[in-house]
Amino acid sequence: MNNNEEFEWTDPEEGDTSAEDISFTEYDISASPNDFNIKTLFDFIGSGVVKIPGFQRNYVWDIKRASKLIESIIIGIPIPQIFLYEEAKNKFIVIDGQQRYMTIYYFMKERFPKKEKRLELRVIFDEHGSIPDETLENDDYFTDFKLKLPTLQPQQVNKFSNLSYSTLDNEDQVSFNLRTIRNIIIKQNYPDDEHSVVFEIFNRLNSGGVNLKPQEIRTSLFHSDFYDMLYRINLNENWRNLTPFKIPNLNMKDIEILLRGFAMLIDHDEYKPSMTKFLNKFSLKAKQFENSNIEYLEKLFIKFLEKVIQTESDGKLFYSKTGRFNISVYESIFVAICAEAFAEKNLSVKNIDIKKVDLLKEDSDFFNATQYDTASAANVSTRLQSAIRILNQ
């Protein structure tokens, strides 16, 4: 079976699920329902008790869908439950329900994010951990949040249309504030140093409806300063020009590619299948990275991009000979070019010889290792050793 990793925003971990089976008898997990009213949910977001992790910061709802949610809350229509993961005492991260949480927050702030500014808002969120009031008040980023609701009859006007939170009548505002949404809080009690079972639970929770990809779940569970760095470099213009799409992928596929590059650079000697578990383990490890280490890795990546641009290639350096962006090709070149500099903890990244890159892509062992059973330990080793040998000879 062809398990190639050519980059079309497909899941590079597809076909790698057999190694993900987990025996739940080895874990102690609790899931408790809690009914919080809307005012409490709003306070949770503002105080940081509930955190919106990296993959969810890009708000995607339009004003009509957001308005329908607010209307449903006001008139008492039940809202789907929200899933939270208890990271620590009084510290939770949203796994499923971020759009609902943020819609409530924006409505009560009476501001709605402009679609064309949401990527910038995500960067601002990364820098501050929230959206500062001065940004919320900036009309370049937000418009006033007034409900836009359809009418059933041509001459009929929805009583809530064009209202904001502050212009709701007192009774409706009180009803809105006191409505509850069920929050399911999941906690892993044992072992306290692993997230594997939580990853699997959230993967199953999202198997219906909008199915979150492994990287989306991973980014939530292991969010860290290192991940914030990944978000920054993912916006780098040179990097975006080397990928098939200029806009970051909503399912975090490009973040996963960057993560894999660093994971292979740092821990390739420890790799063993599955790729999912390897990236989870590395992401957990990265939560402990010191800021100085993260800053160095960021500079190393930027230096690597400079070397790529200097090759004066056609932007297809990471494309396989079949003509599509290939994740295995990218990580192999990245590791081979940066390995020596990383070992010495300097920024003396090697130059890239495009002729050697072409030789690498034509190498039969390398090609086969990028096309079939790509997550096997043997093929990972073959790719990296071939790249180091050919590109550095």
pLDDT, tens only, 115-143: 888 878 877 776 776 788 999 999 999 99
The pLDDT value given to residue 322: 80
Q: Full-prediction pTM beyond 0.75?
A: no
The pLDDT value given to residue 230: 95
Residue 145 carries which side chain, given as an amino acid letter?
A: F
Locate 288 and state its tokens. 């402990």
The pLDDT value given to residue 87: 80
User: What number is the average pLDDT over the span 52-73?
Assistant: 82
Local confidence band at 244 (pLDDT 50, 70, 90 cut-offs): confident
The pLDDT value given to residue 393: 84
User: What number is the average pLDDT over the span 326-347?
Assistant: 96
The pLDDT value given to residue 157: 76
Local confidence band at 55 (pLDDT 50, 70, 90 cut-offs): very low
pLDDT, tens only, 300-320: 999 999 999 998 667 889 998
Alpha helices in the chain (DSSP H): 38-47, 63-75, 98-109, 118-128, 133-136, 170-178, 196-205, 214-221, 225-234, 237-242, 253-267, 275-286, 291-310, 327-344, 354-362, 364-371, 377-391
pLDDT: which is higher, 346 or 90: 346
The pLDDT value given to residue 76: 93
What is Dmax (Cα atoms) for the chain? 77
Distances (CA, A) of 297 to 31, 234, 278, 290, 332: 38, 13, 19, 11, 17
User: What number is the average pLDDT over the span 153-175?
Assistant: 88
The pLDDT value given to residue 186: 85
User: What number is the average pLDDT over the span 20-45?
Assistant: 76
| Rounded Cα gap, residues 240 and 242, in angstroms | 5
The pLDDT value given to residue 204: 66
The pLDDT value given to residue 222: 82
The pLDDT value given to residue 115: 87
- Judge residue 312's burial from the number of C-beta atoms within 10 Å of its C-beta, 0-12 exposed, 13-18 middle, 19 or more buried: exposed
Helix axes 364-371, 354-362, angle to 10 degrees: 70
Local confidence band at 152 (pLDDT 50, 70, 90 cut-offs): low
First to last CA, the chain: 33
Q: Which residues pair with 185 in a beta bridge?
A: 32, 84
| Rounded Cα gap, residues 181 and 13, in angstroms | 34
User: What number is the average pLDDT over the span 333-352?
Assistant: 96
